[in-house]
Every structure is written in structure tokens, then in C-alpha cells.
């Protein structure tokens, strides 16, 4: 009887492993399809601008001057320029976005020069960064749990996590930053377990590279430093000194870019000013609930927050997984995971609650935290499934595992095959479809470059535009020769100018995101032919 139970247990574990391998394979497949389908959004457009070597000031001077241009004129500023070179990429970041280190953008520039700057080519680079996370997560689970099954479970949860799939296809540094951060965790654990100069050197190199991908690595290194101190009981041991040496070398290597951030701190603060914009408590709760849900579930619901109700059970489940980890796993395991989850999340929550703002709604800031949550959930599910007797009824944890993975997989399938990600950038798809119905349209806008770049990228190259953000007109002059004139996202000033001249723009499209309060509109003016 005992041997029969052992055989059934092995058979069940083998079946679970095959199931998880299939889930991982599907997650890999979904990362690789439809890369050219969805529109660019603001951040991706700015990545292409940095890759080109031009600055935002160059674009504003040449194209946002009130002259009639073609949408295709933006192409020059979205492809690598031999004239500007890599120095232009670094200079553009230093002068206009110093909070973004240059490593990813330089790699993206080389990639674009080799494979082109199409959506498929540029998003493929991010997919590669995400795929590299899979073996690193597996190695991290081996270091922490010494269990390949937990490793496959964690990879499966990561593979079909909607928010991870979303950023696996975005032309930004987040997928590479996550991979490098996870590599630093693996190398740190290996250096603690088997101290050697080579291992500490590799750890130091990984954390420096992660820093040069994103400055949020600072929270990761603070977490790792506190972990080392706690494990060494705050004694000055060789491990603590080795970590201190790694920290010192990292700071020295970061000084060039940190000095740029310091000198251009006002620009960085201005660029990130949107994170400090106040929000109504109800909107903040909706956004936070959506962010929590996106770890496992997401749906394209046109900004109707129906799935916000998944936030409560999702949060309860995550908290239980973390508690189970704390109560069952060794200290060296739960301490690392709980410290990472707490120290990469609480600073943003505390800032929003005390200072106001919407920092905690930026899901991309919490990718490292999400991965540690997957490790805790993987430990919970694998432990429960391993200790569940084959004859028990009902198989509660089997159903929970299937529900969790199938719900995530369905969410990813819908998101991957959809025109946009759960309502993101819908307006950049729907507004052009309205404009294309006009035989000879003109688009007038006084919005900033940030609002124009992704929109212009979705327009046909021959579409005419007149951009006024750097003109500050005191009169709305409508040129002749166009069948339809549209006002894209006009300011109140531009609308008032039209009304002063007895021009009555007709609203033909309106979109509002209730979580961020962003609004997008399109007005039409009567023919001027």
C-alpha cells in the first residue's frame, strides 16, 4: 500500500511537471507573437527618440513650429542617426531624462542599427530580455528552495503573468532590468554560500549593470544589504565586508551618472512631476486594485474596473502565501523574499499616502516585487500539492493551481491578441480610423511633444499636421485646401480661440481614463476648400 502511494505521488508530480512545462511554453509563445500589432505609447516613442540620437528640443524646433508638415516627418527622429551617434543618445538622456541611465538605450541603438527600428524588431529586444528571466528564476528557486518543481512553478506563474507579459513586449529597459536584478540575487546567494572573490566580483558587475538599466536598483541593493546584515546578525563578518566592498565599487562606478542626475535634478523632477499629481481617493483605490489584479488577472474592459473586485481575493491570497512562506520556510528564504517585497513597495505607498500622488500605480516599478511574490506562491502551491493525499476529496489545491494558471493564461491570451493592452492607447487606434475617412484631412494640435509622438507614429506618413505647442498663437488661422480639419486634443486656449472667431468645433471623439484622469479628444471643423 505504501509503495502504491509513493508511485501515485511520483506520477502526480510528473504530471504536474509536464503541465507546468506546457504553461511555460505557452507563455514564451505569447511573448513572441503580435509584436507589431499594438500602437506605441508615450514611453516607447521616447525610447525611439533616444535611440535616434536626437533630442526632444530638436523635434520641437523642427516640427512643432506651426508649419504644415507630414506625419512621416517624425520618422527621422525615430530611427538611429549616423550624424548624432551614441553620444547623442547619452546626451539626450542626460539633458532631458537624467533619471534614466543609458545602458539599455545604447544596446537598443545597436540593435536598431543591426535589425531596423520597426515595432517587431525593437520589441523583440525586450522579449529577449524577458526570456532571459526564465532560467534566472529557476536558478533562484534552486538557491532558495533546492527544488526544481518550485522552480518550474515559479516560471509558470511568471510566464503567464499579465503584467510581465505586458512589459516583456515594451520598448523600455524593464525586462532587462528585471533580469539583471534577479541575476544579482542569484549571485549574491552563491557568494554567501561559497565565498570567493570571483563570485563577489560577478555580483558587483551584475548590480552595476542593473543600476545602469534603472536607478530603482537602489531599492534592490538596499534590500540585499539589509539581508546580508540580518543573516550575519549585524556583525562585521567577512561576508558583510565583502558586501561593503561591492557596494563601494558600485557607488564609484555610478558616480559619473549620479553626478548627471544631481546636476540635472530639476529636469528629472519635472519629468516625473506626473507621479506627484493628486488623485481622488476612489481613483487611487481603483488604480491600486487594478495593479494588484494584473499580477495574475487582467481583462480588456474599456477602463470599466469590473476586475477591481479581483483585487481583494488576490491580495488575500498573496498575503497568505507570504505568511505560509514565513511559517514554513527557513529564515534565509523568507527573510529575502519578505524584505524584497516590502522594501520595493512600501516607499511608494508611504509617499502617496503622506505626500499625495500616484507613484504606487506604476506597475513597472514593482516587477522585482512581483517576481518574489511568484516565488512565495510557487512555494505555497508546490508544498500543498506535495502533501495532499491522492485519495483526498476534493483536491482543493489542485483546483486553485489550475484556476490561477488558467485565469492568468486566458488574460495573457486576450491581451496578446488584442489591439491594445487592456485599454492602453486605444485612442491612438480609434482616432486615426476617424481621420482616415476624410479624403484630405489636416490635424491641428497645440499639445506637447509627449502627446504627439505616439499619435503621429500611428498615422499614415502622408497625413498633414500643423503643430502649435511652441507657437502660442493668438489667432486660429485655418489653411485652405483641406476637406476636413481636425483639432487633436486641443487645449482650452485653442478652443477659446476658435469660439472667438465664430468657429464651432464639433466633438467627434472623447476618451477619459478614470484612473489617471488623462483625457483625449478629437474635434472637427467644417471644410475650408
Q: Quickly state the pLDDT bin for 393 (edges 50, 70, 90).
A: very low
Whether residue 1 has pLDDT greater than 60:
no
Give the position of cell 520589441: 123
Asked if residue 513 lies in contact with residue 303, where contact means CB atoms within 8 angstroms, the answer is yes
Number of Cβ within 10 Å of residue 7's Cβ equals: 11
Give 9's strand partners.
none
Q: What is the DSSP letter of 99?
A: T
Whether residue 516 has pLDDT greater than 70:
no
Residue 51 grid coordinates: 535611440
Q: Quick one: pLDDT at residue 260?
A: 96
Strand blocks (E) in 313-402: none
Residue 189 grid coordinates: 546567494
Residue 172 grid coordinates: 523600455
For residue range 204-253, what is the model confidence (pLDDT) as tens digits?
999 999 999 999 999 999 999 999 999 999 999 999 999 999 999 999 99
Q: Quick one: pLDDT at residue 308?
A: 65
Q: Quickly state the pLDDT bin for 511 (edges 50, 70, 90).
A: confident
**At a CB cut-off of 8 Å and minimum separation 6, what does 128 contact?**
none
Residue 307 grid coordinates: 476586475
CA–chain centroid gap for 388, Å, is 37
Long-range contacts of 497-504 (CB under 8 A, 24+ apart): 497/473, 498/525, 501/475, 501/476, 503/476, 503/478
For residue range 462-473, what is the model confidence (pLDDT) as tens digits?
999 999 987 777
Distance, CA of 62 to CA of 469 (rounded, Å): 12
Q: Quick one: pLDDT at residue 281?
A: 79
Residue 187 grid coordinates: 549571485
Q: Quick one: pLDDT at residue 473?
A: 78
| φ and ψ at residue 509, rounded to 5 degrees | -155, 140
Q: Quick one: pLDDT at residue 293?
A: 86
**At a CB cut-off of 8 Å and minimum separation 6, what does 528 contact?**
478, 479, 480, 481, 482, 485
Whether residue 386 has pLDDT greater than 90:
no
Q: Quickly state the pLDDT bin for 114 (edges 50, 70, 90).
A: very high
Q: Quick one: pLDDT at residue 171?
A: 95
**At a CB cut-off of 8 Å and minimum separation 6, what does 336 contact?**
144, 185, 189, 223, 227, 372
Q: Quick one: pLDDT at residue 2?
A: 47
More confident residue, 301 or 512: 512
Q: Quick one: pLDDT at residue 302?
A: 52
> Could you give the 3-state DSSP secondary structure of residue 512?
strand
Q: Quick one: pLDDT at residue 339?
A: 98
CA–chain centroid gap for 44, Å, is 11
Q: Quick one: pLDDT at residue 300?
A: 63
Q: Quick one: pLDDT at residue 514?
A: 56
Mean pLDDT, rounded, for 277-298: 82
Q: Quickly state the pLDDT bin for 287 (edges 50, 70, 90).
A: confident
Mean pLDDT, rounded, for 254-270: 94
Whether residue 336 has pLDDT greater than 60:
yes
Mean pLDDT, rounded, for 148-173: 96
Nearest to 405 by CA among 374, 372, 369: 374
For residue range 6-21, what is the model confidence (pLDDT) as tens digits?
444 565 677 888 999 9
For residue range 28-62, what is the model confidence (pLDDT) as tens digits?
999 999 999 899 988 999 999 999 999 999 999 99
Most confident among 276-280, 380-384, 421-425 (mean pLDDT): 380-384
Give the position of cell 506597475: 363
| Separation in Å, CA 303 to CA 283, 423, 466 | 12, 6, 31
Whether residue 487 has pLDDT greater than 70:
yes
Distance, CA of 160 to CA of 413 (rounded, Å): 9
Whether residue 370 has pLDDT greater than 80:
yes
Asked if residue 416 lies in contact with residue 34, where contact means CB atoms within 8 angstroms, the answer is yes
Report the chain's mean pLDDT, rounded to a whole number: 89
Give 269's strand partners.
none
For residue range 343-362, what is the model confidence (pLDDT) as tens digits?
999 999 999 888 888 888 88
Q: Quick one: pLDDT at residue 24?
A: 97
Long-range contacts of 283-288 (CB under 8 A, 24+ apart): 283/514, 283/515, 283/517, 284/352, 284/358, 284/361, 286/514, 286/515, 287/358, 287/361, 287/515, 287/516, 288/360, 288/361
> Could you give the 3-state DSSP secondary structure of residue 525?
strand
| φ and ψ at residue 299, rounded to 5 degrees | -150, 150
Domain range list for the chain: 2-35+128-389, 427-525
- Round the CA-based radius of gyration of the chain to a whole number and report it: 25
Amino acid at each position: 500500500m505504501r509503495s502504491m502511494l509513493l508511485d501515485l505521488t511520483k506520477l502526480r508530480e510528473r504530471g504536474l511537471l509536464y503541465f507546468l512545462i506546457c504553461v511555460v511554453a505557452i507563455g514564451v509563445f505569447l511573448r513572441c507573437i503580435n509584436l507589431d500589432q499594438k500602437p506605441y505609447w508615450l514611453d516607447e516613442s521616447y525610447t525611439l527618440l533616444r535611440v535616434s540620437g536626437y533630442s526632444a528640443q530638436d523635434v520641437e524646433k523642427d516640427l512643432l513650429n506651426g508649419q504644415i508638415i507630414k506625419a512621416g516627418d517624425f520618422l527621422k527622429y525615430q530611427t538611429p542617426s549616423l550624424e548624432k551617434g551614441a553620444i547623442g543618445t547619452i546626451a539626450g538622456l542626460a539633458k532631458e531624462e537624467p533619471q534614466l541611465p543609458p545602458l539599455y538605450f545604447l544596446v537598443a541603438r545597436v540593435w536598431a542599427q543591426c535589425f531596423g527600428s520597426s515595432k517587431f524588431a525593437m520589441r523583440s529586444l525586450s522579449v529577449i530580455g524577458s526570456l532571459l528571466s526564465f532560467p534566472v528564476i529557476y536558478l533562484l528557486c534552486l538557491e532558495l528552495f533546492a527544488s526544481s518543481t518550485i522552480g518550474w512553478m515559479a516560471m509558470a506563474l511568471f510566464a503567464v503573468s499579465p503584467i510581465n507579459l505586458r512589459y516583456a513586449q515594451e520598448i523600455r529597459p524593464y525586462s532587462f532590468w528585471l533580469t539583471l536584478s534577479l541575476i544579482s540575487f542569484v549571485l549574491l546567494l552563491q557568494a554567501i554560500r561559497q565565498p570567493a572573490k570571483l563570485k563577489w566580483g560577478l555580483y558587483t558587475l551584475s548590480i552595476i549593470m542593473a543600476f545602469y538599466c534603472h536607478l530603482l536598483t537602489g531599492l534592490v541593493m538596499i534590500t540585499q544589504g539589509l539581508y546580508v546584515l540580518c543573516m550575519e546578525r549585524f556583525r562585521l563578518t567577512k561576508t558583510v565586508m565583502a558586501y561593503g566592498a561591492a557596494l563601494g565599487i558600485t557607488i564609484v562606478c555610478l558616480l559619473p551618472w549620479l553626478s548627471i542626475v544631481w546636476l540635472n535634478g530639476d529636469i528629472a523632477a519635472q519629468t516625473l512631476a506626473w507621479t506627484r499629481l493628486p488623485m481622488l481617493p476612489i481613483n487611487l483605490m481603483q488604480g491600486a486594485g487594478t495593479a494588484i489584479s494584473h499580477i495574475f488577472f487582467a481583462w480588456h474592459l474599456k477602463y470599466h474596473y469590473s476586475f477591481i473586485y479581483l483585487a481583494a481575493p488576490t491580495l488575500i491570497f498573496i498575503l497568505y502565501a507570504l505568511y505560509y512562506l514565513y511559517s514554513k520556510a527557513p529564515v534565509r528564504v523568507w527573510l529575502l523574499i519578505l524584505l524584497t517585497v516590502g522594501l520595493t513597495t512600501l516607499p511608494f505607498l508611504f509617499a502617496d499616502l503622506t505626500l499625495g500622488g500616484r507613484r504606487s500605480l506604476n506597475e513597472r516599478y514593482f516587477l522585482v516585487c512581483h517576481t518574489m511574490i511568484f516565488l512565495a506562491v510557487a512555494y505555497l502551491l508546490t508544498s500543498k500539492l506535495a502533501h495532499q493525499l491522492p485519495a483526498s476529496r476534493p483536491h482543493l489545491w489542485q483546483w486553485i493551481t489550475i484556476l490561477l494558471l488558467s485565469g492568468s493564461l486566458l488574460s495573457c491570451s486576450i491581451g496578446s491578441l488584442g489591439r491594445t493592452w487592456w485599454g492602453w492607447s486605444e485612442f491612438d487606434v480609434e482616432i486615426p480610423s476617424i481621420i482616415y475617412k476624410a479624403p484630405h484631412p489636416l490635424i491641428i494640435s497645440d499639445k506637447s511633444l509627449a502627446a504627439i509622438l505616439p499619435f503621429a507614429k500611428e498615422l499614415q506618413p502622408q497625413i498633414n499636421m500643423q503643430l502649435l505647442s511652441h507657437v502660442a498663437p493668438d489667432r486660429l488661422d485655418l489653411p485652405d485646401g483641406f476637406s476636413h480639419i481636425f483639432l487633436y486634443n486641443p487645449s482650452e486656449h485653442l478652443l477659446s480661440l476658435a469660439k472667438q472667431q465664430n468657429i464651432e468645433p464639433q466633438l467627434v471623439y472623447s476618451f477619459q481614463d478614470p484612473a489617471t484622469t488623462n483625457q483625449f479628444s478629437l474635434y472637427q471643423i467644417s471644410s475650408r476648400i
